Structure 1
Amino acid sequence: MTSLTATIDSQDLSERLGSLAPPRILDVRTAGEFESAHIAGAYNVPLDLLREHRDEIITHLDEDVVLVCRSGQRATQAEETLRAAGLNNVHILEGGINAWEAKGLAVNRGTTRWDLERQVRLVAGSVVLTSVLGSVAAPRLKWVAALIGGGLTFASLTNTCAMGMMLSKLPYNRGATCDAQTVVSQLVEQATSPRS
């Protein structure tokens, strides 16, 4: 994977995982999403953790790296973060874990949890509905709905999501092994073990 193309499709990744020098897969979804379904051998490095500990993490990434998320949005942000730090051997799984599963490729499954985007829709929708219904009794509540609408518009235009970042920090979305020290030790352990 030495091309300048920043994406790799599911079939190509599947074939490369069986090679003598497979790429390192970093899944940048939340620990809860990762636990629901992930590609075997992938490392869970949530996007916020990757951003906070980027320099420490990249020192242990000397092989090709493939970034995975639900559909490609967070992986794109992770790629920008890693390339800004000087890591050039970075690729994005085209279509994310959704495309991987749609091709019928195997995933390790655990406890099913809602993905982060679905959680954002639930919270945003609930706040808007509640504030619109509440505005019948307290007319100023309509501005809460307007604020959420403005936030969603801003999130779309900037490809960021403050609500998603806040939700990702909830215990539901965090795993016990989702800290920088654990991630780095897993990367080091894999780098020092012989490849099969």
Structure 2
Amino acid sequence: MSEIELPVEALAARLEAGETPMILDVREPWEFEICHLDGAVNVPLGTLERGVDPAELADGRTVVVVCHHGARSLRATLWLRSKGVEGAINLTGGIDRWAGVVDPGMARY
């Protein structure tokens, strides 16, 4: 099994190098409206667990799962992996850490 956690610095480096992981943001829509990573797809955690076919996410790319601080995204990452999405990985510290370390101009809440 591959690593389950991805530091924000590592994601920033991957994006800078041209990688195109799927970024799955499991926060609520109101949170997503405040701030999000470019290209992120917003599927709240409850919706993900109730009605998304994990096979739709398993297109061979890494799925970087994001939330506010990393707890919901870890839960989603573990759920996705249990459903066969081996490329799911949790963004350590969530969007809050991203804003604090990578993009200080990003809105925070």
TM tier, shorter chain? Answer: 0.7 to 0.9
The counterpart of 1:99, out of the listed 91, 97, 100, is: 97
Please identify the structure whose Cα radius of gyration is greater: 1
- Name the counterpart of 1:54: 52
Structure 1 ranges of 4+ moved more than 3 A: 106-109
Answer 1 or 2: higher relative contact order, Cα 8 Å, separation at least 6.
2
Secondary structure in structure 2 of the residue aligned to 1:59: helix
- Deviation of 1:107 after TM superposition, in Å, equals 7.1
Gaps of 5+ in 2: none
Secondary structure in structure 2 of the residue aligned to 1:26: strand
Alignment size in residue pairs: 108
Structure with greater strand share of residues: 2
The counterpart of 2:87, out of the listed 75, 89, 97, is: 89
Per-residue deviation, residues 138-193 of structure 1 (Å, max 9, x unmatched): xxxxxxxxxxxxxxxxxxxxxxxxxxxxxxxxxxxxxxxxxxxxxxxxxxxxxxxx
Identity %: 34
- Deviation of 1:83 after TM superposition, in Å, equals 1.1
Structure with greater helix share of residues: 1
Question: What is the TM-score normalised by the length of structure 1?
Answer: 0.50
- Name the counterpart of 2:27: 29
- Deviation of 1:59 after TM superposition, in Å, equals 2.1
In the alignment, the residues of structure 2 paired with residue 107 and residue 73 of structure 1 have an alpha-carbon distance, to the nearest angstrom, of 23
RMSD, aligned CA: 2.1
Gaps of 5+ in 1: 115-196
Paired amino acid for 1:21: E
In the alignment, the residues of structure 2 paired with residue 65 and residue 86 of structure 1 have an alpha-carbon distance, to the nearest angstrom, of 12
Secondary structure in structure 1 of the residue aligned to 2:65: strand
The counterpart of 1:16, out of the listed 11, 14, 19, is: 14
